[in-house]
Amino acid sequence: MLGESIIAGLAAMLLAVGIVELLLPAFNRLTERQLEIGLLGNWTGLLLVFGLALLVGVLSGLYPAFFLSRFNPVSIFKRTLAVSGGNETFRKVLVVAQFAISIVLIIGLGAVHRQLRFLQEKELGFNKEQVLFVKARPAVNVKFEAFRTELLKDPGILNVAGTSNIPGQGAFGYRFVPEGGSIDKPAMLPLLLIDYDFLETAGIKIKQGRGMARTSPSDQAEAFLLNEKAAASFGWKDDAVGKKMQLFAPGTNQIGKSGYVVGVIQDYHFESLHHEIKPLVLTYAGWYDYYAVKIGAGNFTERLATLESTWKTFSPDWPLEYSFLDRKLEQLYGGEQKLAQAINYFTIIAVILACLGLFGLSSFAAERRTKEIGIRKVLGASVTSIVSLLSSDFIKLVLLANLIAWPAAWYAMHKWLQGFAYRANLDVWMFALASAGALGIALLTVSFQAIKAAVANPVESLRYE
């Protein structure tokens, strides 16, 4: 029996992995992901599958092998085999544990997917649609205005701007001396270097004052912009415009730029949603790391052709590297997406195992109560009442599993969501829905055996020995 269990375990494991590998390409096409498992494509993966199958086979074969070795052959042929209460209790504990794990995973799956949807739908304070970012190059930086002018000849390209970083990916910290502050105790704040058109290209709103303008020649050397958080941190919530500021030169203790605040912009998420919005300073620079290109609705292929041809004119030695802003933002949550995919697989496996355990336990219970069912039917019991009788005990097990799963799932998901400064709520309906799903799955699993026992011929049941 032990050898058969090992062989069955290996076959089941290989079959499961093979099915996943076969279905994975279709899954990737449907979800536009590039998830790879590759367990069957290398020796390490094959050894892992074989080792797991061997372990599962040994563990699953040991208990029945030792248990059946104690049976009296005469009892087996007479079908009077008795199973101790401890063994039945152990089976029930396993079923409760399996369903508790399944419910935790179902709740976790719902919470993770809800948080991912929240991240996708959260208003970020800037426009992420139809904006692509091009990796800057020195040859283009020195002729940026000409490069921008050439691109804008295409009516499908609405705007072009330079910036030191992509929205959502943060900004480097610099030292500032605000008006009324001390040069000996500078404030450390993130700084974004931009050009005249960045706010318009990114769709960032101005709350006070104005943005930097080509019509104001001094803006290049003197203008600063603050977000609302920065203005509040300096105590300038309502009167920031016109305040003086100084910026230290990078890597030195010397002031590199002195000027004044020309405007306050709306707070926007210049970092991922794992972090709260921080104070941010923006100022003009003629040297950029990225170019933001705002594209209108229409034929993207034509816009890309314009971009590529213009790029080759200004930077023939470097290939064009670009990415869409919305996809860049999705990549910020790649770990969460992989977690959701992993929970998908584990939930399916856990539910299947729980159903198999419950199916076996219900078969065992129906077999033990064969004579009782026959007597009840002779006395006039209906099929519905017998099904209810057999199902009630298992419903109690699933309800017990819920009592265990709810606090465990809440704690796990609450801790996970603490990693986000902005997060979706854990609502009661998520727990109730998971519980209802688990209860429905349990009823479907038990109903087959219960109905089979309830419709059986009572005469055959009463002959059961």
Q: At 62, which amino acid appears? A: L
Q: What is the pLDDT of residues 362-413, one digit of tens each?
A: 666 666 666 666 666 656 666 666 667 667 777 888 889 999 999 999 999 9
**Nearest residue to 402 via CA among 373, 428, 431, 425:** 431
Residue 224, burial from CB neighbour count under 10 angstroms (0-12, 13-18, 19+): buried
**Nearest residue to 214 via CA among 195, 236, 191, 187:** 195
Give Cα separations from 156 to 175, 258, 293 (angstroms): 40, 38, 11
Coil, strand or helix at 159: strand
| pLDDT number for residue 441 | 80
> How many other C-beta atoms can be found within 10 angstroms of the C-beta atom of residue 78?
10
> How many other C-beta atoms can be found within 10 angstroms of the C-beta atom of residue 395?
14
Asked if residues 116 and 273 have their Cβ atoms less than 8 Å apart, the reply is no
| CA end-to-end span of the chain | 26
Coil, strand or helix at 227: strand
Q: At 186, which amino acid appears? A: P
Residues in the chain: 465
| pLDDT number for residue 31 | 44
Characterize the bridge pairing of strands 172-178 and 187-194: antiparallel
Q: Name the region of 242 (left: φ>0; alpha: ψ -120 to 50; beta: rest).
A: left
Residue 77, burial from CB neighbour count under 10 angstroms (0-12, 13-18, 19+): exposed
What sections of 369-382 are H helices per DSSP?
370-378
Q: Which residues of the chain have pLDDT under 50?
A: 1-2, 4-5, 8-9, 15, 19-20, 22-24, 26-27, 29-33, 35, 37-41, 60, 63, 67-68, 76-85, 459, 462, 464-465
| pLDDT number for residue 195 | 94
| pLDDT number for residue 382 | 65
Phi, psi dihedrals of residue 190, rounded to the nearest 5° = -65, 140
Helices and strands, number each (H, E), in the chain? 16, 11
Token reading at 236: 């300038």
**Nearest residue to 112 via CA among 344, 377, 355, 433:** 344
Please name the residues in contact with 342: beta carbons below 8 A apart, sequence gap of 6 or more.
none
Kind plus residue range of the DSSP H or E element containing 174 = strand 172-178
| pLDDT number for residue 312 | 94
Kind plus residue range of the DSSP H or E element containing 452 = helix 428-454
Q: What is the CA radius of gyration of the chain?
A: 33
Characterize the bridge pairing of strands 223-227 and 255-265: parallel
Q: What angle do CA 194, 199, 202 make, to 5 degrees?
A: 105
**Nearest residue to 105 via CA among 333, 335, 337, 340:** 340
Burial 123-143 (b: 16+ CB within 10 A, else e): ebbbbbebbbbbebbeebbee
- Cα separation of 411 and 427, whole Å? 13
Coil, strand or helix at 387: helix
Please name the residues in contact with 184: beta carbons below 8 A apart, sequence gap of 6 or more.
none
Q: 189 forms bridges with which residues in the sheet? A: 174
The dihedral built from the CA positions of residue 229, 231, 232 and 237, taken in this order, carries a sign that is negative
Domain locations in the chain?
A: 1-70, 86-123+333-465, 138-317
- Alpha-carbon torsion, ordered 171, 176, 180, 181, to 10 deg: 110
